[in-house]
Amino acid sequence: MTPQRYQRMREMLAKRQPDLTICLEEVHKTHNLSAMIRNCDAVGVHYAHVVWPRNERIRRGTSVGAQNWVRVQGHERIDDAVNAMRAQDMQVLVTHLSDEACDFREIDYTRPTGIIFGQEKYGATEQAIALADQEIVIPMLGMVQSLNVSVASALILYEAQRQREKAGLYDHPRLDETECQRILFEGGHPQLTERCRQKGLPYPAINEQGDVEADTQWWQRMQSPG
């Protein structure tokens, strides 16, 4: 890993927002999945949740490049995803057109926040709506009632970014250093990462030059055949 790449990755990690996430409830079109994960990366969302019984199918279709930087957690049920967000004391929002929904810009996104986006054709399930704290909507002035789900996620996430930037939440690193080290190793040393996985070796530390810091025994095991 070059010093320039290391510095670029450090700058990216310093802007990550571990208490802002999205949940994709049975969003199944691969171009939407890819776009929504890219939206997460663009605004500094570090964790995303996917609810779908066949998670492996979704992962094969999503953007591999974006998933290198955004951790995607799969769930088979929406309540499991909501419980994961609640465990981080997040307010849980759901996009849904109803009389109870408020304009998405009225929400305080500086609070720990998780946002549920429903399936392309049918939207969020009744269960997801019932589990959420607040329904939100993007005002529409034309004949159609909703935007493409990936476009909707971009609008809402950039509103969250605007508020958080104004509040200074991007001004200092907020991601745990252990997680930063994992990403620096996987993103900066992909071949060594693959060997670690094959051999069951722990990841070594990455120093401020982007180099691997490991003892002789680790390197010997890394270089051994098999």
Structure token digits, residue 50:
């996917």
Consult the annotation and say whether 95 binds a ligand: yes
Instruction: Tell me which residue of 60, 54, 49 sits closest to 23, measured CA to CA.
Output: 49
- Beta strand residue intervals within the chain, DSSP E: 17-25, 45-51, 71-75, 91-95, 102-103, 113-117, 134-137, 205-206, 212-213
Q: Which own/partner pairs from 163-172 qualify as long-range (CB within 8 Å, at least 24 positions apart)?
A: 163/108, 163/109, 163/110, 164/17, 164/20, 164/109, 164/110, 167/110, 169/17, 169/110, 170/15, 170/17, 170/44, 172/14
Consult the annotation and say whether 147 binds a ligand: yes
Report d(CA 177, CA 51) in Å as an integer: 28
Consult the annotation and say whether 24 binds a ligand: no
Numbered residues of the known binding site for S-adenosyl-L-methionine = 95, 138, 147
Numbered residues of the known binding site = 95, 138, 147
